[in-house]
Structure 1
């Protein structure tokens, strides 16, 4: 097993769908594809892949911003490691790669959100030195009031 990390090219972004679908089970496929394709058009987003040889086994989106309270900030998003590779330190390796990669780009702070029920991720992020700074609120403005 040789694990490597690299950015996923815009033209290859749909290769992340099988892993992303394990994390996001509610968004219809057509909408998920549309959103992924649109996200790659923003200069503030890129996707990182973890690979076992050529097999995609993990992903993390990265959102870049400048915030008045923290400076140049990056937010890992939709972080997932394939179930068969969990417990092998790949998440830690992925985050170490992200730390170095984003530091080299001049980013000063990493912020992220995690679902309240995802306790395994909470433990992971605490062990990585993250602290709870605030709450993430969501207001759905669509007529159906559903989040998907």
Structure 2
């Protein structure tokens, strides 16, 4: 497997089919428009390729700075094709993103996981993440 960090819309568009595993109703047009809005705001992706050079994993990355923590890297929408889950790919992606965070001199890495996603909680605990607070949402 090969991992690559990209900020190229063309490369990200190639990940569309993999993203459908998490967002089956996402249209190609909507995805393209979202990337147009996201890319100017320090968005990137880590793409995972199998030996046939097919994208089998996607992890969105936001780089930013906040008063409470300084520079940070946020993992966003980690998606792994079902046939590659529990293969160690998630760990490889997490380690790869940590390397990027250190290269960018980030102080922390953050992510959100749904409160009901216990499998993700266990995985991220095992990767050294821990809860710091609540992420509150108000639908508009």
Fold equivalence (TM over 0.5): yes
Q: Which residue of 2 aligns with 1:116?
A: 115
Alpha-carbon shift at residue 77 of structure 1 (Å)? 0.2
Query: Where has structure 1 moved over 4 Å in runs of 4 or more?
Result: 26-29
Alpha-carbon shift at residue 69 of structure 1 (Å)? 1.5
Aligned length: 138
Q: Which residue of 1 aligns with 2:45?
A: 47
Contact map agreement 1:13 1:37 (CA 8 A) in 2 = no
> What TM-score, normalized to structure 2?
0.89
Alpha-carbon shift at residue 73 of structure 1 (Å)? 0.5
Q: Distance in 2 between matches of 1:114 and 1:29?
A: 25
Q: Deviations over 1:33-57 (max 9, x none)?
A: 31123212x1411111011131111
Superposed, which structure 2 residues align to 1:21-60 within 5 Å?
A: 21-27=20-26, 29-40=28-39, 42-53=40-51, 54-60=53-59
Q: Deviations over 1:53-76 (max 9, x none)?
A: 311110101011111111111100
- The DSSP-based 3-state class of the residue aligned with 1:138 is coil
Alpha-carbon shift at residue 124 of structure 1 (Å)? 0.4
RMSD: 1.6
